[in-house]
Amino acid sequence: MKDEKELYVTRPDLPDFGLYAEKLKQIWENKILTNNGPLHQEFESKLKAHLGVDHLSVYSNGTIALLAALKALDLKGKVITTPFSFVATAHSILWNNLEPVFADIDPKTGNLDPESVKKLITSDTSAIMPVHVYGNPCDLEAFEKIRKEYGVKLIYDAAHCFDVKLKDKSILLEGDLSILSFHATKAFNSIEGGAIVSKDPALIEKLNLFKNFGFRNELEIDGYGINGKLNEFQAAFGILQLDNLSNNIQKRKICFEYYKELLAGVKGIEFIDFTPSYSYNYSYFPIIVKDDYKLTRDGLYDRLKAHSIFSRRYFFPLISNLNIYKDFPSASPELLTNANYLGDRILTLPLYSELSREDIERICKLVV
């Protein structure tokens, strides 16, 4: 309906414009726009404090951070990952001249299945890269056991996991590296941006060199790096976003719980399992449209769209079903039954901090 208010799957949180203008004055006064400027340094310092981590490197976006993280670990051969993710996960592996190997997922959580991973480990496997889908942490204990038993690197694509904690401890400290995204669609954003977290200070130092072409000083270039620097405008934006984050997450939580209340018991609609012991950022509200629902998943998607509600089939199609990946041996649908099942049935409904109860009621009436 053309006269209906348009509701998108996500809308970015924005800082106060007046406060951002004040930050911009600092940039105009010092005339430093990028290259580890004062606001970049302030942003990086505040991120460490907020997240409770000692070692972190801010990058221009999450994808460049993924590329650099894999490069910094000097990997060879194959990396086991999930087909149920945004395509940047697998792209970062290919860009490093590594072979992505797709393992199946847990259909209840959408996360990589540790048992499926173990079956695929060979002498050519150098790393595992699980994704915390929807900010819902993977089986951290199981993957840590695999890392130790098989001697592989463990890199978490934690793009959705800003501020996700277990007993007040950031899950970003798990594995060898965790990679964040601060894209505009995320619960925390700096317009574009990303970061890499590690317990290893030497690794973070290496990654700091990587994002500035490898420059150690004016005369020395240590290895071949890339341009992954975050500029001062994004850093200023991110600094202000941190001040509003807890309030925005609380608003998202209220929306998330209201959805669950209104959709509980609807025949054919199932929720993703979120482990209750974690604190979440409520980035997304995914539902599983099962075969006994009155419409197909795509039928519900079209119905919502006809009423100016723009949901998203997130993640569909699977990475393993895309033309550039479908011929990899591990991409066979017969080997990825759970991922294909969920990919064909997942639908992410609108969720953002300014979504109103009336908006959620309107959406749910079309689902029910």
Residues near 210 by Cβ (< 8 Å), separated by ≥ 6?
Answer: 68, 71, 72, 223, 225, 226, 228
Distance CA 92, CA 240 (A): 30
- CATH code of the domain in which 148 resides: 3.40.640.10
**Statement to judge: residues 193 and 97 lie in one domain:** yes
The region that residue 248 occupies, defined by phi over 0 for left and psi between -120 and 50 for alpha, beta otherwise, is alpha
Strands (E), the chain: 7-8, 56-59, 78-81, 99-102, 125-129, 153-157, 165-166, 169-170, 177-181, 194-197, 269-271, 278-279, 285-289, 309-310, 346-349
Distance CA 235, CA 225 (A): 21
**Statement to judge: residues 200 and 285 lie in one domain:** no
**Statement to judge: residues 155 and 288 lie in one domain:** no
Mean pLDDT of the chain: 97
**Statement to judge: residues 334 and 188 lie in one domain:** no
**Structural domain contains residue 2:** no
| pLDDT at res. 252 | 98
Instruction: Look at residue 196 and tell me whether its pLDDT is greater than 60.
Output: yes
Distance CA 203, CA 218 (A): 21
Q: Give the global pTM.
A: 0.96
Q: Using pLDDT thresholds of 50, 70 and 90, give the confidence band for residue 3.
A: confident
Domain finish residue from 240, 261, 291: 240
Distance CA 105, CA 227 (A): 34
**Statement to judge: residues 212 and 253 lie in one domain:** no
Range from 1-5, 107-111, 116-120, 242-246 carrying the lowest mean pLDDT? 1-5
**Structural domain contains residue 1:** no
Tokens of 296: 């197909």
Instruction: Look at residue 192 and tell me whether its pLDDT is greater than 90.
Output: yes
Q: By the 8 A CB rule, do 236 and 24 touch?
A: yes
Distance CA 11, CA 41 (A): 27
Tokens of 86: 């945004």
One DSSP character per residue, 144-196 reads HHHHHHHT-EEEEE-TT-TT-EETTEEGGGSSSEEEEE--TTSSS--SS-EEE
Q: Using pLDDT thresholds of 50, 70 and 90, give the confidence band for residue 2.
A: low
- CATH code of the domain in which 317 resides: 3.90.1150.10
Instruction: Look at residue 325 and tell me whether its pLDDT is greater than 80.
Output: yes
| pLDDT at res. 1 | 55
| pLDDT at res. 168 | 86
DSSP summary character for residue 215: B
Q: Which domain holds residue 229?
A: 17-240
In a 3-state reduction of DSSP, which class is residue 103? coil
Question: Is the previous residue joined to 317 through a cis bond, with omega within 30 degrees of 0?
Answer: yes
| pLDDT at res. 133 | 98
Domain finish residue from 205, 240, 275: 240
User: Is the sign of the CA dihedral 199, 200, 201, 204 positive or negative?
Assistant: negative
**Statement to judge: residues 159 and 57 lie in one domain:** yes
| pLDDT at res. 188 | 98
Domain finish residue from 240, 264, 297: 240
